[in-house]
Structures are given as C-alpha cells and as structure tokens.
Amino acid sequence: MSEGTRPVRIGTTAPAAPAPPVPADVPDALRAVPGWSDDLRPGGGATTALWEHLATLAAHDLAVARAVEPHLDARAVLDQAGAPALPSTVGVAATWGVYAAEGPGATLVATPDGDGWLLDGVKPWCSLAADLDAALVTAPVTAPVTGPAGDGGRVLLAVDLRGPGVVPVDQPWSARGLVEIPSTPVRFDRARATLVADAGWYLTRPGFWWGGIGVAACWYGGAVGLARRVHAHVATRPDDRLLAMHLGALDERLTAARTTLAAAALRVDASGAATRLGRDPEDDAARAEGRLLAKRVRATVARTCEDVLRIAAHALGPGPLTQEPEHAKRVADLEVYVRQQHAERDDASLGAALAAGPAPW
C-alpha cells in the first residue's frame, strides 16, 4: 500500500467493512462513486467509517474528495427525504452534485408547472456541473403556492444536468487549488425539475449539519497528507530538534481535530438513530444541538488545517513547494477547500448561538 492511499483513521477501531478503493483522480472517482455502498451515509451507524473514507481520499488527493463528498451528500439527502421521485432521465448510476449556495448575481427561481417544476435563472457555485449527471438545487418559489411547497420559500429540486435548458456558464476558474473542480455558475432556462422536499426542509433537516462535518473530514485528510510529508522529512533527520518540534506541533493539532471528529461521529450516529435519519417530525432541540456540533467541529478542524499549512511550510521550506508537484498541489488545494469555513464570521455565528443559552462549559 502506498503512502498516498494508506487509510486515515478517525475512530479507535478499523471499520467493520472494507472501504471502496481509492480512485486515482477525479474522472476515476466519478466513474466509481455511483457503485459505492449505500451504507456510506451519516447518522446510520457507520459515520466514523464514512468520514474516515473521505479523509483517506483527501490525504491521497483533495480534489478526489471534493468530487466525491457532494455525491455522497446528495444520496444521503435523497434518503432523508424518503426516496422521492426523480427525473425520469436520471438513471440509478447517476453522479450527483448539491447546489445550495447563494451569492451575488444569483437569480434562480422555481415555478410549479403541472406535476413538475421549472427552473429559471442563474445558480452560482455549481461544482463540476459540466461533468455530473444530476444535482439537487435549492431555489425560491416565484410566488406562494398551495400544496407541498407551502410557504413560498426555497424548495429543494432534482434536475437533470444534461437535460434541455441547463447550460454551465463559460466563466474562468482562476484558482490554483482544486483546479479539477471548477465551481462556476449554471444558467437554467425553463429546465424541468422534480420536487424533493418542501420549502425550508433542506436547511432544517437534522442531516444538514452532518454533511457539513463530512466536509471537515475532507479538510482533516488533506492536513494529514501534509503532515505525512513532514514526517517523512523529519525521519531522515532524527537529530534535528527544531524539526522534531514541528512534528510534535503537527501531532498536537491533528490529534485535537481527530478526537473532535471521532466524538462527533458517535453523536451523529446517536442522533440518527433517535430521529430515524430525519424522517420523524422536526425536533428543535436536536436541530440546535446539531448546528452547534457542526460549527464547533468545523472551526476546530479548519484551525488545525491553517496551523498545519503554516507548520509544514516552516518545517519543509520552499523546496517541496517548488519541486514536488504533489505537495504543491496539496497545499494549494487545502488552502482553497478550507475556505468553505468562513473564518471569523463562523466564529461569530457560533458565539451568538452560545450566548443565547447558559454557558456550555
């Protein structure tokens, strides 16, 4: 087994079932992931194994993890929604994305149309839209309607990305990290879609925050990949106390992140068992607890990644950054990926949530 595919452990025991093979690159991942087991779901009793697999993919290649994570998340969302009817043109072996981000210039709206829905406008941040088969898309309803869409808020729809009226916007992707995962807008022109869930359900379901921690598991795996490169360097210089200090600092940070993820996986599985994967009536207390858990875990792992990037740079110097494509790519990928954490804004959001109740410590 090569260093790049060595499993990343989060829990204290090995998974009961072997993980799928590690894809070589993003195209290989998109070919393989539709055939992966339905057991790779958060909250179903194997959350640790799921996050370990995502971390293992990320330690190998963060772009592979970035391609796989939304597909697995989409399948989990569909499962939590009760396996709704999907567009007839989307096969069982489809690759999926999840497009729920908003941003300047977002104009997408959903309109009920007989037994289905129409999407019109532009949706930003649509990763791999030109390469995937289908996506779950959030969109506000054009006007209040009766029936399952209810309050006229954002509904969750499934759309065939290869169908008529769906056109990825030709826009440059300037990032030097995650270059294989362009996240550019998609324009929808009366594109047909099917309703997956009522307005507001996507953000309020218990599994929303579980998926956010899965992203943090990918960040953690990327940090492990960097730390392994430092370990290999330090192992050749056992008498260099300064390098040993850097390695010890990496272990300290990674252990904190791993412990946080391991504890979170147990809590997610306990919550999943209690709520039957989100199919029971909403529980405000459980939802608030899940939100706090995700914010804490993501903040801890993101800070670990930032520290690992800094410490690895100090330990290794400019050589690997300029002479080792794999290392330089991992650094650039992680710097982009971890910015899904909104830094001080997310810290402020966590603090505001904590201030609304008694001190948790």
Confidence band (pLDDT; 50, 70, 90) for 4? low
Give the whole-angstrom CA distance, residue 292 versus residue 274: 18
Listed residues 180, 199, 218: the one ending a domain: 199
**Tokens 């532009």 found at:** 122
Give pLDDT, residue 284: 73
Domain boundary among 199, 230, 263: 199
Whether 275 and 315 share a structural domain: yes
287 membership: H or E segment, kind and range: helix 284-316
Instruction: Provide the β-strand partners of residue 112.
Output: 117
In a shared domain, residues 217 and 310: yes
The answer to whether residue 127 sits within a structural domain is: yes
Q: What H or E segment, with its residue span, contains residue 110? A: strand 109-113
Q: For 106-164, what is each residue's pLDDT tens digit?
A: 889 999 998 899 999 999 999 999 999 999 999 999 865 444 444 447 899 999 999 99
Quick one: DSSP state of residue 148? T
Is 184 in contact with 139 (CB distance < 8 Å)?
A: no
Shared domain check, 163 and 220: no
- In this predicted structure, what is the pLDDT of residue 143? 62
pLDDT tens by residue, 206-230: 789 999 999 999 999 999 999 999 9
User: What is the token pair recorded at 55?
Assistant: 């971390």
Residue with tokens 């550019």, as numbered in its chain: 184
Q: Are residues 234 and 169 in the same domain?
A: no
Taking CA atoms, 317 is separated from 56, 82, 328, in Å, by 25, 51, 12
Distances (CA, A) of 188 to 119, 131, 174: 6, 16, 23
Structural domain containing residue 361: 1-80+205-361
CATH number of the domain where residue 184 is located: 2.40.110.10
CA-wise closest residue to 67 among 278, 324, 357, 333? 333
Residue 86 lies in a domain: no
Token pair belonging to 240: 């260099």
- pLDDT surpassing 60 at residue 252: yes
Report if residue 88 sits inside a domain.
Answer: no
**337 and 238 in a common domain:** yes
CA neighbor of 163 nearest in space, from 229, 217, 228, 94: 94
Whether residue 209 is found in the same domain as residue 66? yes
With a CB cutoff of 8 Å and minimum separation 6, the contacts of 111 are 117, 118, 120, 141, 142
Cβ(96)–Cβ(74) under 8 Å? yes
What is the rounded average pLDDT for all residues in the chain? 91
Q: How many domains does the chain have?
A: 2
Residues in the chain: 361
Residue at 113 is within a domain: yes
| Residue 180, pLDDT above cutoff 60 | yes
Using CA atoms, how far apart are residues 298 and 338, in angstroms rounded to an integer? 9
Q: Which of 165, 199, 233 represents a domain boundary (last residue)?
A: 199
What percent of the chain is predicted at pLDDT more than 90? 76
Asked if 192 and 221 sit in the same domain, the reply is no
Quick one: 177 and 64 in the same domain?
no
Tokens 């300047």, residue located = 104
Picking from 63-67, 72-76, 244-248, 282-286, which range would have the lowest pLDDT averaged per residue? 282-286
Q: What is the pLDDT of residues 321-354, one digit of tens each?
A: 999 999 999 999 999 999 999 999 999 999 999 9
Residue 275 confidence class, pLDDT cut points 50, 70, 90: low
Could you tell me if 112 and 131 lie in one domain? yes
Q: Of 3-7, 87-91, 172-176, 192-196, which has the strongest mean pLDDT?
A: 192-196
How confident is the model at residue 148, as a pLDDT? 46
